[in-house]
Amino acid sequence: MKRRRIISGAICASTLIVALVEPAAADRWRHAPADSAYLHITTSSQYDPSNSISGAVPRGPRGDEVRLPRNLAPCGFNCYFTLRNATVDFWRRYDVFPQ
């Protein structure tokens, strides 16, 4: 009788351990570095075609976001437009440099 309790206690404990560890392992697998399949875009300046920039486009909590040199920015009109206007065409957009 005592042996059955010990065996059933060991089985319950091992089942509990597996039940707690398995979701964590599945979550690690789901968010593994294999998620590097981000879309990577490259866009050129409207004013100087030799001036270009590229960035990753991960999916954020509110949709796609484009990776700028220092942070992430939500894609507005589209990600190419956002990346171009926030980087290579930033100053021309505000007419700082006349054409």
* Alpha-carbon gap, residue 77 to 89, rounded angstroms: 15
Is 17 among the domain residues?
A: yes
Residue 52 and residue 16 share a domain:
no
Between residues 57 and 98, the one the model is more confident about: 57
pTM beyond cutoff 0.75: no
Residue 70 and residue 53 share a domain:
yes
Residue 85 and residue 50 share a domain:
yes
Average pLDDT on 17-29 reads 52
pLDDT of residue 13: 63
pLDDT tens track for 43-80: 999 888 889 999 999 988 888 899 998 899 999 888 99
Residue 88 and residue 67 share a domain:
yes
Show the domain range for 30.
Answer: 1-34
Residue 64 and residue 28 share a domain:
no
> Which residues on adjacent β-strands are paired with residue 39?
57
Q: Using an 8 Å Cβ cutoff, are 91 and 97 in contact?
A: yes
